[in-house]
Chains A and B, each alone.
Chain A
């Protein structure tokens, strides 16, 4: 099912709401389905990275932050998070 730009934005906000409320399963479901439609959306990728960082799935988090940086090498936020999840 494809969504309009407005619907995508609303679903992303919904996913962020779930992350804020620590309902990581719901947030992950929404973000992964959005990712299928927009695989190069930096915000979706960043929020997935953040979600996996919060659930301590750091190797998944690393993949997503790296994807953000491949699209936007100067993204400071993604750089900081990548450094955090790759530090022992």
Chain B
């Protein structure tokens, strides 16, 4: 896939590097020469450009990219202008980083297909983790339903999924199990490897240390957490 990142602050450069590492084609753009130099050998191409100048951004060929990421939330004007221009010049999908609700509203109005608040979303994840250290990840599907990644409660250990009565008693679905097990490497040293069991069999036994991926209503997930 092809991505264009406009703005190479902490967030923009992190996204650019992560996408490049996954093997995608990445064009990274910023008006700051130092930021561009810092990244140019790690992505497909890096350019020094002022993206608020229509002629400069036009030359990039917005229509070629699967996603254009606008990550200049510190400079609200540039972020709004960058989003508007990217969309007007043919970008298929634009993801913009917002710094406030009103900023997000404007970004959507000028054409952003997705608006994200990385600090807010990360803050929520951190809060979830700190208040429930057994939860390793959390996705809100809707105001009522979530998916959580929870270390198998002790009451579930050495029981089959059926025996845990996750569905009948707690109203939650165990949709996957992430299991880390040991394997032997060179010179007899042990290493860890991860197995993921998707839609596990009801007769699958839950082991100590298993990470259960649970889907359910929040209040039901809370009950399982307390087991």
Contacts and interface: CB of A to CB of B under 8 A. Distances in A.
B182 A88 contact: no
Size bracket, chain A contacts: 10 to 19
Given A47-B190, A88-B125, A54 B181 contact: yes
Main secondary structure of the interface of A (DSSP, over half): helix
Contacts of B171: none
B114 interface: no
A50 B192 contact: yes
Interface string B83-120: 00000000000000000000000000000000000000
A53 B192 contact: yes
25 contacts: A16-B188, A20-B182, A20-B184, A22-B207, A22-B208, A47-B190, A50-B190, A50-B191, A50-B192, A53-B180, A53-B192, A54-B180, A54-B182, A55-B208, A55-B209, A56-B134, A56-B136, A56-B151, A56-B180, A56-B209, A56-B211, A77-B189, A81-B192, A88-B125, A88-B129
Interface of A: 16, 19-20, 22, 24, 47, 50, 53-56, 77, 81, 88
Given A20-B184, A55-B209, 5 more contacts: A22-B181, A47-B190, A50-B192, A56-B211, A88-B125
